[in-house]
Structure formats: structure tokens, C-alpha cells
């Protein structure tokens, strides 16, 4: 059976959400972060050389990385749902926005988190540049979401599932004020109304306050 190894308060929420949207059978194995270092526990680190979540096992296949896992599940179990194929006129745009989060927004948020924890002053040129990268990425999202309810317009896709962690749960690690982005805020309220998202967060991170505003 498809098994999703989910570390609480992590990017692996994406995979739980995807499985719920697709309504496919899966087993969920939960892990809790170590209390001081906030890292994955030893049993999860031992399950794969990457030592991180998400992690997926399925009929002898074990892979990490949220984007890779999502593409695997979509290809094997999606039945054409939540993704565009090469024949779709918006295939290139779908690919761009699917990879935008882990290729752009998430790394910039992570860079700001590391710089902040190492004590780089807010007015240091490196910090100023790092913050401007996040602001630029958020501005792109704001403009994109001004054109429709989801990243691909009327269609909710896996690109949206990839994105939401970085706008929500990631702010537990890297607080960021998104109050100046009305289209992003409205987007998050639409996400909050999706039953599959509600189920996924209740199963994967019960009791965690969802940063949807």
C-alpha cells in the first residue's frame, strides 16, 4: 500500500493533502519533531539517506522530495486529475507554477530564515537582497492570483498544493507579513474551504493553528 511518512509541521503536508484530494487509499505514518533541535526523529532519518520528510513507500519504491513524490502519485494514481499533460495548451505554465514554490519562493524563505538565525542585521546588503527576493516572489503570486481563483485560473491543480505550505506553515519557521497581498489572502481563504485540505491538516497536524491569514 502507498505509505506516506509525514513529519509534523513540515512540507510533507503537501503529500497528505494530495492523497486526500485524489481520494486514494494510503497509510499515514506520523513523526514528531525532536523537542530541542526541531529535527526529524531518528527513525525517520534512518528510513532514507535524505533523512527528511516527506517520504513515500509504495510497492518496493521509496522516494523523498515533495515534488518528486507528487509527480509519482499523480502519474500512478491521478488518472489525469490535478495536473496538465503535454497536450494541454497551458502545460508550460502549469510546469512553471508547479516548480515555482520549491525553485523560487521556498528557497528564498529558507535563506532569510538562516540569515536571521545567524544574526545578520536587517540593513545588511545580503539581508536586504534576500528579503527583496521573497517580496518579488510574493508580488508575482499576487499578480497571478489576481487573474483567477487558482494558479491555473479556474482549475485547482497540484501547483496549488505545492504552494500553500510556503504561504502558511512555513511562517512558523520564517514569519512573514502577507497582509499587503489581498489576492493571496483571498486565495488562502479558498484553500481553507476545501474539504480535502481540512481533512489532510486534521490528520497530519491535529491541533496546529493554520496560518491562513
What totals of helices (H) and strands (E) does the chain contain, helices first? 9, 4
Residues 61 and 118 reside in one and the same domain: no
- 74 located within any domain: yes
Within this chain, do residues 31 and 52 fall inside the same structural domain, yes or no?
yes
Q: Is residue 210 part of a domain?
A: no
Q: Is 15 within a domain?
A: yes
CA pair distance 73, 77, nearest whole angstrom:
5
Q: Which three cell numbers stand for residue 45?
A: 532519518
CB of 2 closer than 8 Å to CB of 77: yes
pLDDT digits (tens, 9 = 90+) for 152-181: 999 999 999 999 999 999 999 999 999 999
DSSP SS3 for 56: strand
Tell me the three cell numbers of residue 7.
513529519
Q: What is the CATH number of the domain that holds 37?
A: 3.40.30.10
Residues 8 and 71 in one domain: yes
Domain that holds residue 28: 3-82+199-204
Q: How far apart are CA 110 and CA 170, in angstroms?
A: 9
105 in the same domain as 173: yes
Is residue 115 in some structural domain? yes
The answer to the question of residue 55 being in a domain is yes
Q: For 58, list phi and psi in degrees, rounded to 5.
A: -160, 105
Tally of domains within the chain = 2
Edge-to-edge order in the sheet of strand 27-31: 27-31, 3-7, 55-58, 61-64
CATH code, domain with 159 = 1.20.1050.10
Could you tell me which of 77, 63, 70, 79 has the C-alpha nearest to residue 25? 77
* Inside any domain, residue 212: no
Q: CA 192 to CA 13: how far, in whole Å?
A: 14
Question: Do 97 and 38 belong together in one domain?
Answer: no
The answer to whether position 213 is within a domain reads no
Q: Is 149 a residue whose pLDDT tops 90?
A: yes
- Strand 3-7 versus strand 27-31 pairing type: parallel
Residue 210 pLDDT > 90: yes
Query: What string of H, E and C letters represents the secondary structure of 6-44?
Result: EECCCCCHHHHHHHHHHCCCCEEEEECCCCCCCCCCHHH
Question: What is the band of 50 on the pLDDT scale with cuts at 50, 70, 90?
Answer: confident
Q: What is the pLDDT of residue 120?
A: 86
Same-domain pairing of 103 and 173:
yes
Please report the DSSP string for 75-120 in residue order. HHH-TTTTS--TTSTTHHHHHHHHHHIIIIIHHHHHHHHHHHHTT-
Supply the pLDDT for residue 39.
67
Is 189 found in the same domain as 110?
A: yes
Amino acid at each position: 500500500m502507498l505509505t506516506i511518512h509525514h513529519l509534523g509541521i513540515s512540507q510533507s503536508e503537501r503529500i497528505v493533502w494530495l492523497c486526500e484530494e485524489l481520494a486514494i487509499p494510503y497509510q499515514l505514518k506520523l513523526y514528531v519533531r525532536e523537542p530541542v533541535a526541531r529535527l526529524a526523529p531518528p527513525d525517520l532519518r534512518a528510513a532514507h539517506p535524505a533523512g527528511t520528510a516527506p517520504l513515500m513507500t509504495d510497492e518496493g519504491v521509496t522516494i523523498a522530495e515533495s515534488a518528486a513524490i507528487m509527480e509519482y502519485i499523480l502519474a500512478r494514481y491521478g488518472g489525469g486529475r490535478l495536473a496538465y499533460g503535454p497536450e494541454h495548451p497551458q502545460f508550460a505554465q502549469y510546469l512553471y507554477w508547479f516548480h515555482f514554490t520549491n525553485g523560487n519562493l521556498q528557497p528564498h524563505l529558507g535563506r532569510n530564515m538562516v540569515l536571521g538565525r545567524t544574526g545578520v542585521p536587517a540593513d545588511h546588503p545580503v539581508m536586504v537582497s534576500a528579503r527583496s527576493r521573497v517580496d518579488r516572489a510574493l508580488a508575482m503570486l499576487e499578480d497571478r492570483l489576481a487573474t483567477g481563483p487558482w494558479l491555473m485560473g479556474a482549475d485547482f491543480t497540484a501547483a496549488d498544493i505545492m504552494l500553500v505550505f510556503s504561504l502558511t506553515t512555513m511562517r512558523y519557521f520564517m514569519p512573514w507579513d502577507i497582509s499587503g497581498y489581498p489576492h493571496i489572502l483571498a486565495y488562502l481563504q479558498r484553500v481553507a474551504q476545501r474539504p480535502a485540505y481540512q481533512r489532510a491538516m486534521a490528520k497530519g497536524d491535529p491541533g496546529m493553528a493554520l496560518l491562513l491569514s
